[in-house]
Structure 1
């Protein structure tokens, strides 16, 4: 009897251990504990989201985000600092971020290598059309959020990412304070120059452009609601940026002119700067009303790039105010 009792006891203990192991490895664990990619880090809580690439389980509190979609400033606003960012300027964070991304590695979505992403050990990757060809590889490294929107539809992009990361409150709060600031500065400018019009001309390595609701133009004509001059392409369905000839620019007579320039590649920076200087020093330009009255405002270098991302847009508002209204 003693032998039978001992055997029954041993079998009971074995069955209890097996049951505990089954509970640990059951379906519920797939949502509560997961090792992502090559990070060797365990995320204890996941959320399932639906992107246009399908269902993705992402960490609720990601620690190592790789941003390949120009969303790093949006991430900062939501409380995250990416380990890899696509929003740098000449390989580093812009000065206005004041040390907020000192430990971040900056890359270009157009030239980044898969091995560099693997080396970052991400637990979340942000992607969009600029890295779509890499999506399958990226999603094997770590959970990957594919965004439908780009920096040219930055409001929709910010809202889309905020929804995926469950940060709607933070996004709404930021938009609220930014919109109020933009409207206030716009109202100050319109009060000082009632009825006067504005335009934005931009030079790159090959073209001269008039900007409507895009980048800095979006700040001027949408966020600040400044009156646009004749020739500003505000509501074209395909693009609100228009390539124009110098003759067209010199024939228009806005009351205020913003001018900017940018180089797609660093090796064209000198050419762009030379074309820009020729443009604003041309006698036809200097005879324009805005030029004669000292109402031409340059937004070049980092000031131009401020218009691309949310925290930079806040700084751009301050730059615009100071240029048009003068020091406080």
Structure 2
């Protein structure tokens, strides 16, 4: 009987040992599979050619200015240069909720950033623009680098350029179509309220100069996205640089409604000008003044454009309050 009990106990020990080994093997295999998934890569084509990047990057540093686009496409950015155009240490208000958790590394239009700060973030993917091309070799030693070209003229083109590199064209197209439908709807409501033929002008007063938004920034929100009328006398924008006019040139633009984006100093100079005060829009009280930060950058960001479209009716309604 004693031998029988010992035999049964030996069998139990053997069985549990085999089960334990099986579980350990399964756990080891699962861990190996997870490690393999983490190391999976794919090849994408950017402006420099083909580059191998992680299949599912989790620690993206973007200094190209495309962080808002990447967030729309479902990517998390831990380091960014989508800072405010007037204060590189903070986010423009329309991106605070979207990118507020990311570390600001500079401003996207600058050619160089703090490499040590990028290294400290331990990125598994770095996105730069052609503006930062001379950093390419140095950054490539840290992590795979994707280079994009942000032309800043047609926001949809820039959006789709980034989306195509990452294979997210469908998601980008859906977002753009939804936004444009919203913009057209708001534009139609504005026309109904303020007149079909009413024209709209937006400009930036900064550093003693007057920059007209026509083929970029807020101008394209008015004219392209919402379908509002462009005033007569507009200087045409031929490249990424905004057309510059004098006070006299500004007065020659016959706009029914004006959105004046300005720094405090330039706004003071503007409101003190007899030429400015003699324009029909000013005399009729049809002027909305907005701070240079964040509105200067806002028209160059897809998220910023959406935020502006959502608030423009309230801005117009508040003109005479």
TM range (shorter): 0.7 to 0.9
* Separation (CA, whole Å) in 2 of partners of 1:249 and 1:52: 39
CA shift at 1:98, angstroms? 5.5
Task: Report the equivalent of 2:249.
Answer: 248
Q: 1:69 aligns with which of 64, 70, 74?
A: 64
Aligned residues: 278
CA shift at 1:275, angstroms? 2.1
Task: Report the equivalent of 2:139.
Answer: 138
CA shift at 1:132, angstroms? 0.9
CA shift at 1:123, angstroms? 0.8
* Separation (CA, whole Å) in 2 of partners of 1:284 and 1:232: 17
SS at match of 1:226: coil
SS at match of 2:77: coil
Query: Residues 211 and 233 of structure 1 are in contact (CA less than 8 Å); yes or no, is this contact kept in structure 2?
Result: no
Q: 2:294 aligns with which of 288, 293, 302?
A: 302
Task: Report the equivalent of 1:29.
Answer: none
Larger radius of gyration: 2
User: Is 1:289 aligned to 2:289, yes or no?
Assistant: no
CA shift at 1:277, angstroms? 1.8
Q: 2:92 aligns with which of 66, 80, 94?
A: 94
Task: Report the equivalent of 1:316.
Answer: 308
Task: Report the equivalent of 2:264.
Answer: 273
Query: Residues 189 and 325 of structure 1 are in contact (CA less than 8 Å); yes or no, is this contact kept in structure 2?
Result: no
Describe how 1:79-158 pairs up with structure 2 within 5 A: 79-89=74-84, 90=87, 91-97=89-95, 99-108=97-106, 109=108, 110=110, 111-158=112-159
Structure 2 unaligned regions, length at least 5: 1-33
Query: Residues 83 and 105 of structure 1 are in contact (CA less than 8 Å); yes or no, is this contact kept in structure 2?
Result: yes
Task: Report the equivalent of 2:54.
Answer: 59
SS at match of 2:260: strand
User: Is 1:224 aligned to 2:230, yes or no?
Assistant: no
CA shift at 1:66, angstroms? 0.6
SS at match of 2:174: helix
User: Is 1:161 aligned to 2:123, yes or no?
Assistant: no
SS at match of 1:227: coil
CA shift at 1:194, angstroms? 2.0
Task: Report the equivalent of 1:17.
Answer: none
* Separation (CA, whole Å) in 2 of partners of 1:210 and 1:302: 16
* Separation (CA, whole Å) in 2 of partners of 1:163 and 1:44: 22
Task: Report the equivalent of 2:5.
Answer: none
CA shift at 1:322, angstroms? 1.3
CA shift at 1:153, angstroms? 3.5
Structure 1 unaligned regions, length at least 5: 1-31, 35-41, 262-271
Segments ≥4 residues shifted beyond 4 Å = none
Residue range with higher mean Cα deviation, 199-208 or 76-85: 199-208
Query: Residues 233 and 241 of structure 1 are in contact (CA less than 8 Å); yes or no, is this contact kept in structure 2?
Result: no
Deviations 1:247-271 (A, max 9, x none): 111233311111113xxxxxxxxxx
CA shift at 1:203, angstroms? 1.1
Query: What TM-score, normalized by structure 1, do the two folds share?
Result: 0.78
Query: Residues 254 and 290 of structure 1 are in contact (CA less than 8 Å); yes or no, is this contact kept in structure 2?
Result: yes
Residue range with higher mean Cα deviation, 175-184 or 301-310: 301-310
Query: Residues 153 and 239 of structure 2 are in contact (CA less than 8 Å); yes or no, is this contact kept in structure 1?
Result: no
* Separation (CA, whole Å) in 2 of partners of 1:93 and 1:200: 23
* Separation (CA, whole Å) in 1 of partners of 2:222 and 2:273: 25
Change (3 A) 1:101 1:202: closer
Deviations 1:27-70 (A, max 9, x none): xxxxx989xxxxxxx84221111222121011121101111111
